[in-house]
Amino acid sequence: MTIILGIDPGSRITGYGVIRQTGRKLQYLGSGCIRTSEKELPGRLKQIYAGVSEIITQFNPDVFAIEQVFMSKNADSALKLGQARGSAIVAAVNADLPVHEYAARLIKQAVVGTGGADKAQVQHMVQQMLVLPAKPQADAADALGVAICHANTNKTLVALAGKATSARRGRYR
């Protein structure tokens, strides 16, 4: 059993999603958004750090997964996003959590089946995969998608490691 905290970083709204992975089964534990109220960036970064730290304390995850920064035409926005990611990552590192980063296209591929999926498609598939009564808010759905991506990537790596071991023993199937 592994509890995975997924983060969709943003300087104004940071989504979070927590799932439990038991074998192939994924179970929804919680999700939401950290909405910053400060006008100045340093205050927003402090709120992100405090919010992620509180979520870590509440859910006690085993692993932390976060979306990577994507190239933006607006350099200022990309820098702010990078700083928001940094605040969340520092909270995870301070809690001694392993940190895993995933590209947005890989996350969408893992959840929807195509790297070019839009937010509505991600929301729909997250709702279906986790058997939620309603679609989660967009940023929370993206964060749950990050957690699902980590769970699926981790399952694949474990399966591949097992195949490699079997192949070395002459029992590759």
Domain that holds residue 102: 2-168
Q: Please state which of the ranges 30-39, 109-118, 151-160 shows the lowest mean pLDDT.
A: 151-160
Predicted model pTM: 0.87
Task: Output phi, psi for 30, to 5 deg.
Answer: 175, 160
CATH number at residue 28: 3.30.420.10
Any binding-site annotation on 8?
yes
pLDDT at residue 153, rounded to an integer: 86
For residue 95, give both structure tokens.
């809690």
Contact between 18 and 60 under an 8 Å Cβ cutoff? The reply is no
Q: Is residue 63 part of a domain?
A: yes
Query: Which residues form the catalytic set?
Result: 8, 67, 139
Please indicate, yes or no, if residue 173 is contained in any of the structural domains.
no
* C-alpha separations of 12 from 44, 83, 95, 146, 155 in Å: 7, 12, 23, 19, 33
Residue 54 contacts by C-beta under 8 Å, 6 or more apart in sequence? none
The verdict on whether residue 139 carries a ligand-binding annotation is yes
Tell me whether residue 96 is annotated as binding. Answer: no
Which whole number is the average pLDDT over 92-109?
96
Does residue 77 lie within any of the structural domains? Answer: yes
What tokens appear for 11 in the block?
A: 């300087």
